Amino acid sequence: MTEDQNHIAAELGIDPHFDVSAEITRRTQFLMDYARRAVAGSLVLGISGGVDSSVAGRLCQIAAEHLRSSGMQVRFIAMRLPYGEQADHADAQRALTFIDPDETLEIDIKPAADAMLAQLKAGGLKFNDQWQEDFLLGNIKARQRMIAQYAVAGATNGLVVGTDHAAEAVMGFFTKFGDGGFDLSPLGGLTKRRVRSMALALGGDEKLAHKVPTADLETMRPLRPDEAALGVSYDEIDDFLEGKQVAPPSAEVILQTYRRTAHKRALPAVPARQRAA
Ligand SMILES: Nc1ncnc2c1ncn2[C@@H]1O[C@H](COP(=O)(O)OP(=O)(O)OC[C@H]2O[C@@H]([n+]3cccc(C(=O)O)c3)[C@H](O)[C@@H]2O)[C@@H](O)[C@H]1O
Ligand SMILES: Nc1ncnc2c1ncn2[C@@H]1O[C@H](COP(=O)(O)OP(=O)(O)OP(=O)(O)O)[C@@H](O)[C@H]1O
Ligand SMILES: [Mg+2]
């Protein structure tokens, strides 16, 4: 393990050892403890059909059931948030069957996202080209999902759950204040392969656990695999984070991306305090 790997693994909270059933218990307990302290009425999470939200959603459902059996009134609200017709909507339905949530809400984010884009253009914003416009509409979609989840949390005295984990965090591969905006994240510190092994241990099938990761934000390239955008594979990212050897060009991509995206893992910048005279 290089010094960089060591430092990043410590910053992102990656445990050197991984016991899947212990992690399921520990992370479910984390959700329960946090919800209890916050006296939360609900846990709220968007379910895409991908493995991250399937695992986080299942943990939320288990936590809500345990809390109710101890007398607390709390429910898990799964949110389907398609942008119009979702290309892999069948996978999202399978994820919901796996999670078996207390409640499901479906909100189409397309009208609101498209209206924002139209008003930006009407206000005079010019994009470099159609690719930039489509990319930025993708981030508007992610933020629209955040708005919908916070409205539901606000109405139900709830908490918004995120799906951020170490393999996305190290690459800054999320929309700032979009899917990067949440109250608590039960997958924090996990590599992608650890998330997949939790999916299997929770009773998910191979198809769900090994679904090709996609942010699916670009209208012009539906279901584009994350790995095409990242320039490295999740296996390489996981190896890097778990202290294994990674080919130098890939390690360099990971390191440079990690440095470039530091602002996404930090609180907003403010001026430093003045020095005492
Ligand atoms: N140095 C700096 N210090 C402080 N803030 C800085 C900054 N540089 C940029 N910024 C701010 O950050 C903004 C850029 O960040 P952001 O708006 O997030 O946009 P950006 O990082 O450009 O794009 C988001 C990326 O995350 C991917 N993503 C998004 C959502 C979900 C998933 C997924 O895996 O499911 C993946 C998406 O495909 C895309 O590649 C800039 O517009 C600027 O406001
Ligand atoms: N169509 C959608 N409906 C509901 N929530 C969504 C949708 N798309 C994205 N999200 C939310 O945004 C989060 C970030 O997306 P991301 O793609 O990283 O996770 P995933 O789809 O669960 O897993 P994977 O990364 O393997 O595709 C999701 O976990 C989910 O909570
Ligand atoms: Mg996805």
The 3-class secondary structure across 18-79, one letter per residue, is: CCHHHHHHHHHHHHHHHHHHCCCCEEEEECCCCHHHHHHHHHHHHHHHHHHHCCCCCEEEEE
Is the shortest distance between the CB of 53 and ligand 1 below 6 Å?
no
Yes or no: say if 244 and 199 are a contact pair by the CB < 8 Å rule.
no
- 52 included as an active-site residue: yes
Euclidean distance between CA atoms 12 and 254, whole angstroms = 14
Q: Which residues pair with 75 in a beta bridge?
A: 42
CA end-to-end span of the chain: 44
Say if residue 168 carries a ligand binding annotation. yes
pTM for the whole structure: 0.97
Condensed to tens digits (0 to 9), the pLDDT of residues 188-199 reads 999 999 999 999
CB of 137 within 6 A of ligand 1: the answer is no
Establish whether residue 91 lines the binding site of ligand 2, counting it when its CB lies within 6 angstroms of any ligand atom: no
Element (H, E) at 155: helix 130-155
Q: What is the pLDDT of residues 34-53, one digit of tens each?
A: 999 999 999 999 999 999 99
Q: Show pLDDT as tens, one digit a residue, over the chain (277 residues).
A: 899 999 999 999 999 999 999 999 999 999 999 999 999 999 999 999 999 999 999 999 999 999 999 999 999 999 999 999 999 999 999 999 999 999 999 999 999 999 999 999 999 999 999 999 999 999 999 999 999 999 999 999 999 999 999 999 999 999 999 999 999 999 999 999 999 999 999 999 999 999 999 999 999 999 999 999 999 999 999 999 999 999 999 999 999 999 999 999 999 999 999 987 6
What digits encode the pLDDT tens for the residues 215-226? Answer: 999 999 999 999
pLDDT at 88: 98
Domains in the chain with CATH codes: 3-264 (3.40.50.620)
What is d(CA 185, CA 160) in angstroms, rounded to the nearest whole number? Answer: 9
Which ligand has an atom closest to residue 92 CA?
2
205 is catalytic: no
Q: How far apart are CA 69 and CA 84, in angstroms?
A: 38
